[in-house]
Structure 1
Amino acid sequence: MPVVNSYSILDFYALPEEIHVELINGRYYEMPVLGAMHQDLASYFHILIGEFVSELGIDCKIYEGSVNVMILQDDYNMFQPDLMIVTDKSILGKREVYGAPDFVLEIISDEMRRAAIDEKVECYERAGVKKLLIVDIKNRSLTVYDHDGNSYNCEQYGFVGNMDMNLLGGQVVMDLEKIGCIADEYGKFMD
């Protein structure tokens, strides 16, 4: 994909600390301050997946928010997923992850994040992220992308019932209704 603007990783690092953006294909996307609903959802997934990983005894790192990922290891992309799992510790740096995590969760709860998601999915696919989940609050859906070694296969679910998901060689059960309940708690604040 051609780079649209000339912003690079060097520009990204030169930004003041109080400026929160993701760099996607050479463009900045502002990262709005995330509210309680966003954090509640990220925490639900962190606890669920953390317990699953612990039960299976998988040696990995789980990061929730605020850790950057140089996903394509190029000069034009630096992402900040809501949750990620890294099993290959050789890609861990002091300030960020260099390469593809095994698992990424993105929660879309505002128009800014929605505007960039297609480009991010394409980058995650090119990088080889094995499992990508996108929770779209406005559309009340969860989309699961599974990488088959070449490209993504995807399935979409509503916030109804449970879903068994293969992750890191095991099965984790997600309560989709719980995700809907968390979103509903904050429904009065949505646009």
Structure 2
Amino acid sequence: MENKVEEPILDYDKTYTYADYLQWRFKERIEILKGKVFKMSPAPSRTHQKIVSQLSRVFLNHFHKSNCEVYMAPFDVRLIDKRKNSTKDEDIINVFQPDICVICDRDKLDIRGCIGAPDLIIEILSPGNSKKEMKNKYELYEENGVKEYWIVDYHEKVIYRFVLIDDIYIGLKPLIEEETATSTIFPDLSFNVGEIFED
């Protein structure tokens, strides 16, 4: 087995692949978006983790004994470059770790995570990552066919939802504490938004 590179010095102008990613060993988590490396924020805040836990409980309970599986970060999702249409490690330039994802096509799951677009992704905004979540990941998820994408802003206590229609994300009405969240692609999944933000 090859030795992994210890804390490599990265060239942030270079394009990297999943093959590179597999060789690295960093103290913090990283993602590759369109071949560019992004270091993730330091350990998420307690509030961030609590919201992930609350949402995970709802999703795990809902999808228990279904064909869909729910995963929480750290869990690698690899998107296939449509131009190359290859699942080879050296051809994959998008590797990320959504806070929560739902995958209903089990052929996309392997020992290393998910290869291909999950059906639904939830990202929790943290200080310093809002630009990445709101722009870079939004575009990647839209381009790669993630059917539904939620962004949770715990500072404002609101959930933003986007659903893919004709390959373009359409924003739905933002949801606040007093409302019920329902998934478009999983219409029988619903919960009170306020319960997610309870401290």
TM-score range, shorter chain: 0.7 to 0.9
Report the TM-score, using the length of structure 2 for normalisation. Answer: 0.79
Distance 1:23 1:164, change over 3 A: same
Correspondence 1:22 to 2:31: yes
- Check if 1:11 corresponds to 2:6: no
Asked whether the 8 Å contact 2:79–2:93 carries over to 1, the reply is no
* Deviations 1:82-123, CA, capped at 9 Å, x for gaps: 011111010111112100111111001221x21311111111
Assess if the C-alpha contact under 8 Å between 2:145 and 2:164 holds in 1: yes
Q: Which residue of the partner structure matches residue 165 of structure 1?
A: 182
C-alpha separation in 1, matches of 2:149 and 2:182: 11
Give me the whole-angstrom Cα distance separating, in 1, the residues matched to 2:15 and 2:181. 42
Q: Confirm whether residue 49 of structure 1 aligns to residue 66 of structure 2.
A: no
- 1:115 and 2:128 aligned: no
**Alpha-carbon separation, structure 1, partners of 2:155 and 2:183:** 26
Question: Residue 40 of structure 1 aligns with which residue?
Answer: 50
Greater per-residue helix proportion: 1
After superposition, the CA RMSD in angstroms is 2.0
Q: 1:165 & 1:97 partners in 2: Cα distance?
A: 24
2:181/2:192 contact within 8 Å kept: no
Q: Give the C-alpha shift of residue 128 in structure 1.
A: 0.7
The 3-state SS of whatever aligns with 1:67 is coil
The amino acid that maps onto 1:9 is Y
Q: Is 1:95–2:105 an aligned residue pair?
A: no
> How far 1:22 sits from its partner (Å)?
0.8
Unaligned regions of 5+ residues in structure 1, if any? 183-191
Structure 2, unaligned stretches of length 5 or more? 1-12, 82-90
Distance of 1:28 and 1:150 partners within structure 2: 26
Identity of aligned residues (%): 23
User: Which protein has the larger Cα radius of gyration, Structure 1 or Structure 2?
Assistant: 2
Instruction: Please say if residues 161 and 171 of structure 2, whose CA atoms lie closer than 8 Å, have aligned partners that are also in contact.
Output: yes
